[in-house]
Amino acid sequence: MSTNNYRMENDFLGKIQVPASALYGGQTQRALNNFPIKGERPISHYPSLIEALLRVKQAAAEANHKAYFLNPRLAHAIIQGAEDLIGQKAYQHFPVHRLHGGGGTSANMNANEVLANCAEEHCGGRRGEYRWVHPNDHVNLHQSSNDVYPTACHMAIISQWPLLSCAIGQLRQTLQAKGSQFRHEPRIARTCLQDAISVTFGDLFESYEALLARSHDRITRAVEFLHAVNLGGTIVGRTLDVPEGYRQRIIPILQEVTHNANYCLAENLFDAAQNPDSLVAVSATLELLARALIKIAKDLRLLSSGPETGLGELKLPAVQPGSSIMPGKVNPVIPEFVIQCSFQVIGNHVASATSVDHGELDLNVWKSVPVFNILDSMQLLSNATVTLVKLCVKDLSVVKERGRQNISTLIPLLTNLMKSRGYSSVSKIYQEARGDGPKIRTLLEEKGWI
């Protein structure tokens, strides 16, 4: 390939060849060489993180301008570059592997270089020259990967939470509607998979909604904690590395550019550099939601089992043929889809949790694992929940005759008799009949109890 298709850039390691058309620069290219994608996902697959990185850079440029560390022309060029990239959804300029080493340095430098080249062209220069705007000296001024990247991770999760929150809300509303629709429709409760007492399908659906309500509240509280960020804490939390004029301005300006007044500075910046437990707390609440969805989906799968030899108390919408060899077979594929998505979320949390205890000494460099797993889990749970509503719960029906038949069985009968005749008296009848159902009924009739 012609050398005209490349440009040469320099860093303290020496020269590096970069595609001439690339908005990114040499350090991003080194990351591409060191951490090959090979079919895996780059950070460009996570728009919420890219936008968060660009908003942090906007806020930093504005704070440096207001503190007189960056002249208005350069600050405006950086800010406008970020705004243009966000508006154009130009995520393709962020190609580094999501699990790159270095605690987010490659992602931070990717953003620095892209913005530097955007601003360079705005000021009349050319890509890769950095004559007017330098990635480190200007775009990264008074910042470190160690405060920029964790802040962007928090912001990305906060911005993605409303999508999942809405999906949970839709499922809750649908379950409430089903609870109202079948409030008085009887069904037999089961404990240890054995017959128990008569309840209603309304009781069942409303209990599912209550479970999801708690899950929603847990995630909401965990996400709220992410508004505490360490932007301005630079390397390991030592504020001496940041001039006071910048440090006082950066959080209020971050609030402005994100239109979110809840962002605040973490109480202990050293702690914030070392411990990603607030991220893992979000992951843990997502895992609980996943387990809640598994419980609900497994119940739907079990209650709809059949069509002739299963429980058969619910009828789920038929959305596809269930077998390539058995005509007429229809499987509960939507609950099974939800269960598998939830399995993956549980696995994501296991990986994320390891990042807490592996953060040696003064900096935790493993934040990429929880942040991308959390973003993946949120997407999985959103898709699963919306699909469960649309293709299953919304149009499921109760097989009324089966439910009414089941509540007329032996255990509900004996339990009701226990209230008036006493546990020991009813137990004697059962013992005398040796558990034989028809004989129990005969004895009860002879005693005039039924």
**Contacts with 111 (C-beta within 8 Å, 6 or more apart), sequence order:** 50, 53, 54, 57, 94, 139, 148
- Measured between its terminal Cα atoms, the distance across the chain in Å is 92
CA–CA separation, 207 vs 16, rounded Å? Answer: 61
Residues in Cβ contact with 350 at an 8 Å cutoff, skipping those fewer than 6 apart: none
Q: Which residues contact 124 (CB under 8 A, 6 or more apart)?
A: 132
For tokens 């300006």, the residue is 253
Is cis: bond before 307, omega within 30 of 0? yes
Q: What are phi and psi of 405, to 5 degrees?
A: -65, -40
Strand, coil or helix: what is 10?
strand
Q: Estimate to the nearest angstrom the gap between the alpha carbon of 227 and the chain centroid.
A: 16
The radius of gyration of the chain from alpha carbons, rounded to an integer in Å, stands at: 30
Q: Which of 323, 397, 408, 425 is catalytic?
A: 323
Of 113, 93, 100, the C-alpha closest to 47 is: 93
Residue of 240, 340, 354 whose CA lies nearest to 290: 340
Strand 314-315 relative to strand 397-398: parallel, antiparallel, unpaired?
A: antiparallel
Given a contact cutoff of 8 angstroms between Cβ atoms, the answer to whether 425 and 431 are in contact is: no
Question: Which residue is it, tokens 């001039």?
Answer: 243
CA 400 to chain centre: 37
Report helix, strand or coil for 67: coil
CA-to-CA dists, residue 129 to 57, 150, 272, angstroms: 20, 29, 36
What distance in Å separates the CA atoms of residue 193 and residue 441, rounded to the nearest whole number?
Answer: 23
| Rounded CA separation 99/374 (Å) | 14
CA 447 to CA 450: how far, in whole Å?
8
Q: Catalytic site residue 427?
A: no
Which residues does the annotation mark as catalytic? 323
